Amino acid sequence: MEEGQISCKNCGALIPYHSSRCPECGIENPIPRSEKAKNVIIIAMAVIIVVLVGAMAYGTVNALVKLF
């Protein structure tokens, strides 16, 4: 499987990841829902990590500034 491609949920043909229609069987939304859900979860976790790291950095800088 090439990078950026996924199997159509209907016919199994390899299609570009962002396709809205399978070129082989013509079904709309050929990407399985589980793939879309996985991507949403990954993005949400990345946002949470960025927020936590930012909060920790802010707290550290704030504590250091008060010490001096």
pLDDT per residue as tens, the chain (68 positions): 456 788 888 888 888 877 888 888 988 877 766 777 788 899 999 999 999 999 999 888 887 787 65
Shared domain check, 62 and 40 = yes
Sequence-distant (≥ 6) Cβ neighbours of residue 16 within 8 angstroms: 4, 5
Residues 37 and 67 in one domain: yes
The pTM of this model reads 0.48
For residue 60, the model assigns a pLDDT of 84
Q: What angle do CA 20, 41, 59 make, to 5 degrees?
A: 135
Structure tokens at 46: 């990345």
Helix (H) or strand (E) segment spanning residue 13: none
Q: What's the rounded Cα separation, in Å, for the pair 19 and 30?
A: 7
Mark whether 41 and 66 lie in a shared domain.
yes
Give me the domain span that covers residue 10. 1-31
